[in-house]
Structures are given as structure tokens and as C-alpha cells.
Structure 1
Amino acid sequence: MIKSLCSSHQFLLFSRNVSSFVLPQSHLKLKKICSEYSESSLRPIAAILDKNQLFPSEQIKELGALGFMGILVEKKYGGFDGDTLALSVAVEEIARYCGGTSSIVSIHNALYADTINRLGTIEQKNNFLSDFVNGNKIGCFALSEQDSGSDAANLKTTAKKCGNEWILNGTKAWVTNGIEGEAFIVIARSNESGGHNGISAFLVPSKIAGLSRGKKEDKLGIRASSTCNIILDNVRIPNENLLGNEGEGFKIAMSAIDLARIGIASQAIGISEAALECAIKYAGQRIAFGNPIINLTPVQIRLAKMVTKIEASRLLTWKAAKLRDSGQTFIQDAAMAKLVSSETATFVTHNCIQILGGMGYIKDLPAERYYRDARITEIYAGPTDIQFLVIADNLAKKYGFKIR
């Protein structure tokens, strides 16, 4: 479905009342399908998923059937040959209705499915991709460790070659979708003296001797998406499960993270959009001093700042997506998109609660959930502080300088 939607080169004005950007007609159709599905199937259950930390299994299968679990994957492996802009549009629309579900879709597509689609062998794609794009199975990306989050090159998980096998040992932390995941891309140190070049990537099925899961983390937000540790205790995998070439693991991980930042920026925009809508509707109906509070100047200023930041965030994000789709360098742009969009999500959801007052602080309305869901967007795939460093480093390189 998505391939046919993404093939058109006709352009129309993006129609949402708070957005003005030229999108391909194909992507407008994709947005409409995703929005209609999310409004009818995710909006009614989003609060329940959040409260009870429930993984939306049936909804993920339905999203898979629609093509949203393999957006960037080749059609011959069950995907739909979509592009990065399509992923951004889809994640934003899903996030408007359920932040947790958008996280599941974004991470599965950006970190797992796309990485294997780009780098995997035919055998690897058949074993670790074909059954993962229809929504029946979820894939995960295991990079972070307790003492090596942003300092990813300092990871301690090891992979030792033994004949035609690799033996993996270590613990991976903060693995998104880890409880439900049926396969993992594991980044491990394969050469102790190789530095960045001593790290490799491996494909590890969940049902294998020596692999276990830690407790399900009880999180502030995106609670429909599970997070846990993955423990590897003498896990043996065949050499055929090495993803890419030996020593390329760090490069593979960073490339995947760059794409993930576009997905997270899109998630942040979707959450912001939902919070803005909530705030406007409430402000138009809440009577104070004899009039709806939307007539109050302080409320108008808040709303104006909210929508302006959302617009700027979306344009940065779509620019990064289009750069990637055209084969151009997009690292700095992805970092800027994530930086601005995630800070926007925190700002917009905060101001949504301020406009709602006491009603924003209780669970009768979704404002407090938006606020909690927004907070993670400034943390995962590199916290805000790391985005500053990435942007500054790439900026310096453009002018011929090197930051040490």
C-alpha cells in the first residue's frame, strides 16, 4: 500500500489547519490513512494502554497490515518501499493519538527494520525481516548499557569468535520493545584493542539459549511501549548472524541513530499537535470573566508560541527526511530536528497544562499524559545535550575545523 502512495510526484498543499507545507499527494494520502486509523483505533484506548502499560498487540498487527511496520523495507521482503518522509508523516500521525504506540512503530522501523533492509544479506532478510514487517513480530535494537548510553563506544558487551560461531556476553539496557521483541540487533565489542573499529553488530533471535530479559521498567510515559534489559549469557550465534562486516558495528549503530532522531522528532511533533488541539478546544469552551479564555491575551500568547514552535519543528524534521531521501548528508539536520522538536514537545505540553489549569493536572483529560509522553523525546537517541555536540561538531567540520 505505501509503495503506491509514495510513488507520485504531484504536490498539493498540506491541509491541516495548523500546518502549511508542500507535500507529495502520495504522502497526503498516507497521512489520511494513518490518521483515520489512529483516530478510530488508538484514540479510544490510548489512556488504557498508558494506565495499564499494555502493549497494543492487535493494533500493531493492524498497522502492519496497512504497511506501517515496514515503511522503508523493500517490497520483496514484505515491505512497501516507502521513504523517510513517509516514516516521519506516519509516526507524527500515530503520536497524535498514542505516544506509546508511535514509539513502537518508530523504533521498529528506524532502528531495526531499516538497518537490516540496508545491510543484511538475503538470508538475514529472509530470517529477520520478512516476518517482522507485517506486525506479527517486533524487532529491537540493543546498543545502550548501564554505563555506556551516550558514550556508546565504551560498551562492555563482548562477542568472541569461536570457530563458526560468536559467543555474546553482557547486558543491554533500555531496550525499547524488549519484552515483546522476537529478535535483536545487538552491538558488541568483537575486538578489545580496536576502539571504535572493534565493535560489531549481530542479529540475535529472542528464543535462544542464554538470552533472558530483565524486569519491565515502570516508566513515566510512553507506557504502551515496553522497556527492559537484555541479558546475554554465553549466547551462541552462527557467523552468518554478523550484520555487515566485522568492526563496522559502531558505524552501523550511529547511522541507525541518525534515522531514529528523525522518527523521534516526528513523535514529538505529533504529541505537540495533540496538546495544542487539547488546549485550543478547552480555551474556546472555558468561560472566565464572562468570556471564553481564548479571548485572554496571555492565553493567546501561549497558543501563538505553541503553534509557531510546532511549525518550525515540522519544517526542520521534514527537511532532514528529504535530505536523507535524496542521499545527502543529514546528520546535523536530524540532530537539529530532534533538538528543536523535543524541546517543543516539552514546551507545548507544559503550556497545554497551564491553559487547562487544574483540569490539566488530572487524568480526566489527556493533557497530563501528553506531558509525560513528551519528556522521553529529549532523552532517547541521544539527550538534548548530545544533540548540541553533534550539531556543533558538524558545523565546525563544514568550516574546516575539528572539535577535540
Structure 2
Amino acid sequence: MLVVYLPQSTLIGLWRTAVSIIMAFAIPKIARAGRCLLQTGSYRALATTAKTSSGQRLSFELSDEQKEYQQLARKFAREVIIPVAPHHDKTGEYPWEVIKKAWELGLINSHIPAKYGGIGLGSFDACLITEELAYGCTGIQTAIEANSLGQMPVIIAGNEEQKKKYLGRMTEEPLMCAYCVTEPGAGSDVAGIKTRAVKKGKEYILNGNKMWITNGGVANWYFVLARTDPDPKTPAGKAFTGFILDAKTPGVTPGRKEWNMGQKASDTRGITFEDVVIPEENVLGQEGIGFKIAMGAFDKTRPPVAAGAVGLAQRALDEATKYSMERKTMGKFICEHQAVAFMLADMAIGVESARLATYRAAWEIDQGKRNTYYASIAKALAGDVANKCATDAVQIFGGNGFNSEYPVEKLMRDAKIYQIYEGTAQIQRLIISRELLAKTKQGM
């Protein structure tokens, strides 16, 4: 069967037609939300207000446009993601159908600049979307959000030709990409990676192994970080180079899909590179600055990761609260027992605090500020909150919480990775402490 995809920019222009089709055949309530966005002009407005939507002054009120886009993502999570999440959790099947629908609605690749066919949303608005998608299933949300991490080095350091070629294709059809940095022996210690790229003429020969690569088996292209300076004494800031690599290049071999504890809908694999030829035009920036590019990408993608953790924590709180108002012990609802009520209160404190930290980290990006400090605070706090909320939700459910027929055990399994990927909870604290000490020294 021949499948033809319209570019995302064209889809936006033809939104009314798309909504009609969706209403007739797929997800009517979401389509009505999309129609609302069209009628108010909000969908297009989001593309032009991304950098100022959070406001220069302190405000806790979302703009009308943000509320509408948030509502669209919320409906998508409730009506599309949640019904299929158990299936993907049990089978590990990659959620292609969900991803295609998200792509059609503009809920994926939203941060790609408009000049390359994207919508060009800011980080704050992207976090609003991510939180809602994660509420439905963080495995599916991670599959979607991995695109942001893979694309970010290109957005940060790519030249015009690279951006048009690799970002542009993502808006022409629903494709995925991946961020290849972690290795079997180098996770948080990014400077310890062993994959090497040796320059020969106008090409680089790549050899090495990457591990725990999200979207590794479904990506159309990769961002790959490799050592190009063989001298072990060369500092990380000069020893590594970032490359864009087409996934079908000879010598690229994805491994088996890893069966993880949680977030099973995402595709996680190891990837082997054996004498892979990369043309020099696929170097990002210039030789030797790959480490800086990779770290810069983390600063921009950690707030959305934190937003995903907040979405999971909110889901855990909602499920636990609802259950506590239905379950009775000793003649009254368990929410009326102070022990349970205080657990719910602590969960709410954590969710609201983590959300505000995430918003601050995203806001810093949209204001053009260096956000390393706030990004790590958001990532560390949200990851810890997600784990505590999920664990407490299981506790409130009691024996039922330990059973797979109820939703909270999946939340507990899915939550753990938020303390591990994109920088462990301990690495975030290391970054925070270093940033704190540096700020203090500057002010002394």
C-alpha cells in the first residue's frame, strides 16, 4: 500500500480538512479541540509566541493559546494513549500508530523551527505537551520525546544544509531519530566513551558500541558522539566530535530490543558501528566540540524530561486520590484516615513543586539564558517526586496496587528510569553543587 505524507507545515495549513477526517474515522473529541484551535487562530499563534508566551513578568496563568494546546494534548493522552498503553506495556510493541496520530496533530517535533517545516514552539510550551502525554503513558511519551533529544544537537550546532536535510525530513513524514552517546562502559561519565572516529581524507571511519539508545531500532538517523583525538590527556571539550549518521549506512547494526522494567513501549537497543564511513559534511559544528554540543543538548532537553516525570506523578496522585475516595476500611473511606490523607498531601506538594521547577527551567531557555542549574534541579526533583508518588500510590491501593489489573504498578515501574536516564539523580546533584559553588565564588 502506498502511503503519502503531507509536510507538517502543510498539515497546519489544511487543519480543517485534517480535523474533518479525524472526526469521521478516528478521534472525534480531539478533532473538535483541533477545530477550536483553528477557529481562534491559536494553533498558528503558538508558533509565533513561543519565546514570549511565558511572559517577562511573574505569572502563574497560562495564556489562552497555551491552555488550548495543553487541552489538545490532554485529550490525546486520555483518548488515544491511555486505552492502548496496557497493550504496549505487555507486548513491548512500538507505538507507531500513536506516533503517526501525534505527528498529524503537531504534538511531535513541535520545537523544530518554522523555517524547516516545524511549528517552532518554545521549551515552556513543549513541556506543557510533554506532561500531558506522559500522563497517558511515559513509555509512549519517551518514544516521542526521544526525537527532541536526537534533534537538539542539530538545532544547536547544525549548519543550514544539515538542518534542512535532517530536521526538514522529520516534518515531511513521521520519522524518528536517536541520540547515541551512552556506551556499555560510559553512561554518566560521558567523557569516558570509547567509540572512535578517525579522519581519512574527507571522511571519518567510525568504530564502537553504544548502549541504551532510545529509538535505536526505529530511527531514521542518529546523532553520534565519538572521540576524534586519540590522546587520553586531551580535555573532553576538545577530544570529541558530534556526527549526524543515517541509520541505513553500511556497518551500522542495531542490537536486540531490550526488555526493560518499565517504559516498555519505547525502543531501547545497543548499536554497533563497524568501519562506518561518515562524510565530513556530517560533522556538527567542527571537529573537537562534540562534547559541548552534547552537554548543551541536555540543558535543553532535561526540562521536558522533568515534565514527563511530573506527568507520571500527577497520574499517580489522581489515581490514588480517586481510589482513596472509593475504598472503605473500618467504616469510612480511606481518604478520611489521616495516615492516607497526609500521604496524598505530600504527593500534591511534590507534584506542584516539581512542576514549578520544570517551568522555571523551561522559561530560562525561552528567555535565552543558560539554564544548567535550573535544568538539573528540575530533572532531579521531578524524578524523585515521580518515584515517591508512584510508590505511595501503590501503597494506598494496598494489595490491589501490587496487581497488574490496576494502573499504579505500571507507574511505579515506569518511574524508576527518571532517576537514571539523561543524567542520574546523583549526576544532577553534582551539577547543581558545582553551579552553586561557582555562583557563590563569583559573588564573593
Normalization by structure 1: what TM-score? Answer: 0.94
The residue aligned with 1:358 is 399
The residue aligned with 2:263 is 222
Give, in angstroms, the shift of residue 10 of structure 1.
Answer: 7.4
The residue aligned with 2:25 is none
- SS for the counterpart of 1:174 is strand
The residue aligned with 1:195 is 235
- SS for the counterpart of 1:44 is helix
Give, in angstroms, the shift of residue 396 of structure 1.
Answer: 0.6
1:176 maps onto 2:176 in alignment: no
- The percentage of counterpart residues that share the same residue type is 33
Q: Calculate the aligned-residue CA RMSD, in Å.
A: 1.7
Match of 2:180 among 135, 142, 146: 142
Q: CA 1:361/1:21 → structure 2, altered by over 3 Å: closer, same or farther? A: farther
Q: Partners in 2 of 1:349 and 1:229 — Cα distance?
A: 29
The residue aligned with 1:94 is 133
Match of 2:360 among 304, 312, 319: 319
The residue aligned with 1:238 is 279
Give, in angstroms, the shift of residue 114 of structure 1.
Answer: 2.8
Asked whether the 8 Å contact 2:77–2:132 carries over to 1, the reply is: yes
User: Unpaired runs of 5+ in structure 2?
Assistant: 1-11, 13-42
1:49 maps onto 2:99 in alignment: no
Normalization by structure 2: what TM-score? Answer: 0.86
Match of 2:168 among 130, 145, 148: 130
Match of 2:342 among 298, 301, 312: 301
Match of 1:394 among 435, 438, 442: 435
The CA deviation string for residues 329-375 of structure 1, in whole angstroms up to 9 with x for no partner, is 21010000011100000000000001000111101111000001110
The residue aligned with 1:104 is 143
- For these two proteins, the number of residue pairs brought into alignment is 394
Asked whether the 8 Å contact 1:5–1:29 carries over to 2, the reply is: no
Asked whether the 8 Å contact 1:11–1:25 carries over to 2, the reply is: no
Q: Partners in 1 of 2:116 and 2:440 — Cα distance?
A: 42
The residue aligned with 2:74 is 35
Q: Partners in 2 of 1:114 and 1:186 — Cα distance?
A: 12
Out of 98-107 and 199-208, give the one that drifted further. Answer: 98-107
- SS for the counterpart of 2:296 is helix
Asked whether the 8 Å contact 2:306–2:379 carries over to 1, the reply is: yes
Q: CA 1:135/1:28 → structure 2, altered by over 3 Å: closer, same or farther? A: farther
The CA deviation string for residues 271-294 of structure 1, in whole angstroms up to 9 with x for no partner, is 011111110111111111111111
1:71 maps onto 2:110 in alignment: yes
Asked whether the 8 Å contact 1:186–1:203 carries over to 2, the reply is: yes
Q: Partners in 1 of 2:155 and 2:190 — Cα distance?
A: 23
Which letter maps to 1:295?
Answer: E
Which letter maps to 2:373?
Answer: Q
Asked whether the 8 Å contact 1:186–1:204 carries over to 2, the reply is: yes
Asked whether the 8 Å contact 1:266–1:341 carries over to 2, the reply is: yes
The residue aligned with 1:16 is none
The residue aligned with 2:301 is 260
Of Structure 1 and Structure 2, the greater helix share is in: 2
- SS for the counterpart of 1:129 is helix
Match of 1:272 among 292, 310, 313: 313
Give, in angstroms, the shift of residue 127 of structure 1.
Answer: 2.3
Q: CA 1:137/1:220 → structure 2, altered by over 3 Å: closer, same or farther? A: same
- SS for the counterpart of 2:143 is helix
Q: Partners in 2 of 1:249 and 1:138 — Cα distance?
A: 21
